[in-house]
Structure 1
Amino acid sequence: MEMIVFQTQEELDTYAAQLFINLVNEKPNAVLGLATGSTPIGIYDKIVESHKNDKVSFKDATSFNLDEYVGIAPENEQSYAHYMNKHLFSHIDMPAQNAHLPNGMAADMHEESARYDAMLEAQPVDIQLLGLGHNGHIGFNEPDVHLSGGTHAVKLKAETREANARFFASMDEVPEYAITMGVGSILKANTLLLVVRGADKAQIVKEALTGPITTSVPASLLQTHARVIVLLDREAGRMLA
């Protein structure tokens, strides 16, 4: 596991974006694992800037997102499909048919999960971007006695819904369910890129990266992967030796 602590957000975003840019320049048909939330926005901004400056093209690349809310249509401003279009897809040249997210409006979540996993098996992810939830979740894999290996629908914990409430008009609008890649699906990526910001994440960073491997902290399973890159700001990394 490679861990780097950055003094500024600008440095962190630039470094993370460059990992994606370098990969696509070296392997134009790279498969990118993408994430949403506040953490990746600066990274996507840097990627878009490089594309606009003709330093990278995504015309042959493919992407798979970690998750999507259940019951929110793609055109809804709170959907992750809308987020990805706003922050990345509408600004780069990746063909729309190459950008994949789980379908949160699917009539059968079991069928949708199987469909998504089949695509992931056919096109293994080269680098998977991850954030870290306050309770240690990655994707929407919440702490539990047992974790699902493959893509699945999950009932969101109260603390996860509360953390996401800032994006909605009220708590009542925050979805109770999401569809997410499983931990097993995530761990199949060639490289995992975990990006964490903020003093409020310092304790869970320590537990996830240096504590015991346990399903009560799903991110701790990243310790089992052969190639993990962890990028932290000063506040998130302050409890690491």
Structure 2
Amino acid sequence: MATGNEGKDLSALLTRLRASGPHKTLPTARRIRIIFNKTTIVDTTRAVLVWEHEWYPQYYIPASDIQNASLTNEALATLTVAEKPGVEAKSTDRVLKFNNDTSWGVLAGLVRLEFSAMDSWLEEDLPIYGHPKDPFKRIDILPSTRPIEVRIAGKTVAKSPHAQHLHETGLRVRYYLPLASVVDPALLRPSKTTTYCPYKGTAEYYDVVLDDGREYKDVVWYYRATLHESAAVAGLISFYNEKVEIYLDGNKVE
């Protein structure tokens, strides 16, 4: 549920990177391909993982590895794939281009192509979605028979003698319960919200509506199907710790 720079003010991001640099960087030997306007514009093994913030990385690409497309020379650049048979010309200005000035450090000569502005990204032959995975993070899902209770505004909304505890590096533990643990199905109202996590997949949400009409938006999420590493939580529900009260073994989780 982290927020990042996708869709944000690129000028502000550029200024911040100029002033303080990235959070950290890591070269990768993975083959990275990028498709834009039905055209492969990058096929490289020289990409760099760049953490613009602490939560997760983006791929930055050597400008010299851009192919089948033109790139303007400004820092706030525009990428264009020209018209060709069956494909109309298309451009995007969601691009940052770092010149070869050594003051940019490891970013010198690289290009940031906004993830969502591209048609698709591949690591080796595997499509990736949302953003690249952080190689310093891992997920552990541990089954637990410690009883768990979830309360909202002092009212018990879910209770279970067991749960799956999902530990993700650097984040709070998330507790996944059976849907049947909700004490009254009428408390849940399907939400239109969806989010994507590269470690788990696409999450769907419920609002909780109490008997007195108070509404708690998107405090419950679940995955109909997960990526393989998170298969143990498929079909289970999790409550947003920060917005509810969770009691584990009778003790409130802080």
**Same-fold call, TM cutoff 0.5:** no
TM bin, normalised by shorter chain, reads: under 0.3
The structure, 1 or 2, with the larger RCO (C-alpha pairs under 8 Å, 6+ apart) is 1
Q: Which has the larger radius of gyration?
A: 2
Normalising to structure 2: TM-score of the pair? 0.24
Normalising to structure 1: TM-score of the pair? 0.25
